[in-house]
A and B are shown apart, each in its own frame.
Chain A
Amino acid sequence: MAVEGAGLQDFSAVYVLQPVAAADWLVVAPVVWCILMGAVLLMLRKRTDLQPLIAIPALVVLALMTLGLLAHVLTSGTVTMTMGRWLPPFGISFTADLLGAFFAATSSLVALATGIYGRSDVDDSGRRYGFYPFLMLMMAGIIGAFLTGDIFNLYVWFEVLLISSFGLLVLGSERLQLDGGIKYAFLNLIATTLFLVATGYLYGLFGTLNMADIAVKASELRGTAPLMTLVALYLLAFAMKAAAFPVNFWLPASYHTPRLAVGGIFAGLLTKVGVYALLRILGMLFPVEREELSFIIAVAAALTMVLGVLGAMAQNDMRRAMGYLVISGIGMMMAGLALGSPAGLSGAIFYAAHSMVVMTALYFAVGIGAQLGGDFRLTASGGLYARSAAISALTLMLFFSVAGLPPFSGFWPKVMLVKASLDIGAWWLAAAMLLTGFLTTITVARIWVLAYWRPAKSEAEETAIVAPPAVGAVVALVGLVALTTAAGVWPEPLVVLAQDAARGLIDPSSYILSVFPGEAAQ
C-alpha cells in the first residue's frame, strides 16, 4: 500500500496497517456508546416506564468505560486513536491524555448520579420530552469534547452538547423555561460562533487543526503570525462558555429554570467544558500568549469569583444562589489558568473535578430540601432540620465543601491555588480567593440557618413533610457526597493525578508523541 517512487515527500508512514489494540478502543467507546444509547432511547421515547431502566444501566456502563480509560491512561500514558487509519495531521484523532480522561471519568460519574436522580425528579411528561435521550447525547458531546484531539472537532462536540442542552433546558416548555432558555440559547450560540471565527483564523495561520500539530508549529509561527489576536478570541469565546465575568449573565438567567436534575448536571458539567477548553488551548497550545494575557485573566478571575459570590448572597431563591456559586467557582479555575505554573494548573484541574461533583450535588440537595419543605425561597422556608436531620446533615457537608472548608474536597485545591498565587507574589489574587471563601461560607451558612435550622412558621408545619424524597434521589445525593468526602479526606491520589495532568499540559511532548508515533522513531 505504501507509495512507491520518488515523491517530493514520503508519506507512506501515514498509512496505519496494524490493527488498533483492544484497550485503545476505550478512547472512542464512551462517545460511541452514548450516541448509540441515545438513539435507542430516542426510539423508545414514548415508553416512559422503560426509559430509566435502560438509561441507568447504560450510564453505569459509561462510567465503567471512562474509569477503564482513566486506568489505561494512568498505566500506559496518552492514548491516541485516529479515524480511518490515516495518521495525523491528515486523519482526525481522538487523544485521551490524563486531563481529558480524568474529566471524562468524573463527568460520567456525575451523569450517573443525574440519571438516578432524574428517575424521580423528571416525570412522565419530561421523559416524553426526551430527558434520557438528551442526557445521553449531551454526555456524548461532553466526553467527545474532553477526548478529541482536533480543534474543529472540539467545535463540533461543543455544538452536540449545546443542542442537547437546549432540549433539556426547555423540558416541559414552561413560561419560565422559555424565558431562561432563550437567553441561554442566543448567548451560547454567539459564543460558539466566536469559537468558530477563531478556529477559521487558526486554520488560515497553521493549515492544520490537529492540536498536537499546532503545539509543534506554534513556536515556529510565533513572531510572524498574529497569535495574540487569535488567543484573545479563544479566551473570549471560552470565557463566555465557562461563564466568567463579564460574559456570564446568561447563567444566572437560565440555570434555575429547568428541572433540578437538569440544572444539576448543567451546573456540574457545562461550564467545566469551557474551562477544559481554556486549559487545553491556552494552557497547552499557546503558553507564551497565555503568559502575556495572564494579568487580564487574573483580573477577570478575581472579579468572577468575588462578584459571583456577592450575587449569591443577594438571592432569595436558593436555586439562583447556587447558579451564582457556579460562577464563583469558575473564577477559582480561571485563577489557576492565569497563574499557569504547575501548581496553579493542577489546582485548577482539581478544583474543576471537585466543582463538577459538588455543584451537581448542591442542586440535588436543594431540590430534595424544596421537596421536603415545599419552597425554594428563603423568606418562605424553614424547619427542614426537624423534617429530616439526615438530609440536612448531607446538605451541610456540601455547603462546607463548596465553601472550601476541610475535611471536604473544596479545601485542597483552594490551598493549592492560594499557595501558587502567593508563590509568585500575586497577593491580591490569593486575597480574592480567601475573601471568596469567606463570603461563600456566609452565604451557605445563611441558607442553612434560614432554611434548615430555623423552626418552621407554625407548629403544624414543624414536622409535616410536603413530599418525602424518593429513594433514588437520596442515593444519588449520598453517592456524590461520598465522592466529595472521600476526595477530601484522602486527596493524595487526586493531587498526584492533577499534578501529572498539569505537567502534561505544560510539557505536551507525550501528547505529541502519542499523536505522531512516527516522529519518535526519527
Chain B
Amino acid sequence: MASVELPVLKPGDYGSDQDVRWCPGCGDYSILAQMKKVMATLGWPREKTVFVSGIGCSSRFPYYMNTYGMHSIHGRAPAFATGIKSCRPDLNVFVITGDGDALSIGGNHFMHAVRRNVNLNIVLFNNRIYGLTKGQYSPTSELGKVTKSTPMGSIDNPMSPLSLAIGCEATFVARSIDVHIKHLADTLKRAAEHPGVSFVEVYQNCNVFNDGAYKYATDKAVKADNVIEIEHGKPLIFGKNRDKGIRLNGMHPEVVELGKGITEDDLLFHDEQATQPTLAYLLSRMRYPEFPEPIGVLRCVDAPRYDDLLNEQVAQARAEKGEGDLDKLFNSGDTWTVE
C-alpha cells in the first residue's frame, strides 16, 4: 500500500507570494520566521490553518503566511476567530494582534475569547507603542512616556497583558521575546499544541517609534539580571552567574541571593499546572526594574473549550431529538385547515 504520510513541509512552504512590508529591522520579521519554523514542525496541513488578525503592523501577518487568513478590523480578530472555530473545530486558528489592537479597542473581545476558552492561539506582539498610526502611546506604554499624543508624558497607568489574561482565567499564558528565537519558537509550539485558548505575549521591538523599549531584556550585558526564564517544577533562578532567585515572603515575591544561608530549596518553585491562577498572576506582576521579568509558560491547565461544548450540544440535540425535520416543525402545535 502506498504511503499516506503527509508531505514534509519546510518553513519556506509557509511563506506566501506577497512582499513583506514591515520596516527594516522590525521585530515582526523574527516572529514570522519562528512561526513558519514552528508550523513546519507541527505536521498540520497548511489548508487546515487560518490566521486571523485585526489592524496594526502585526496584523499584516496573515498576508505573509501561505495558509488561509483574514485581515479583519481593529481589535475584533478574536470575535472573527470565535466564529470560525465554532463552526469548524477541525481548523487550527491563530489570532495575531498587537498591544493596541488587543488591549485598547479589542479589550472586550480579548477578554471574552479568553474566558470562554475558545481553542484559539492568540499571539500578541507587544511593542508598547502604536506603530501603524505613527507613534502614539499604547495601553502598555510606561507612565511618563512622551509621544506625539502625550507631549508632557503619559498619565495612563500601563496594563499587564499577562495579568489580564490570567484574570480572565486563561488556560495557557506565556511570554517570549522577538530576538530570543529559540525560546520564542519553543513557546509558540507549546501554545499551538495547547487545547484551549493559548495566549503568548511577545516583547517586540519597534525600531522606528519605540526603539529599545525592551533593551533591558535583550541587551546581552544586562538581560540575565532582568529576565527570568521560568520552567515547570524548577526553582526561580536568574542572573549571569545564576546566583539570584525569587523567594516568597508571605504573599510577596522578593529577590534573594543564593548562598549565605539561602539555598535553592528556599526559592519559589514554578508550577504552571496549579489549578488556581494565583501563582501565575503573581509572576505576571513581576516587573522590571524591581524584579526580573518572567519569560516562558506561566500557566498551562486543561479546561472545557467553548467550541467543543457548542458542537457537543449540537450533537447531543441531534442524538436526543433526531436530525431536525422542518415539515414536522411546521406542522407542530396548533394548526387548522382551510378547505
* Same complex origin of A and B: no
Binding site for A on B (CB under 8 A): none
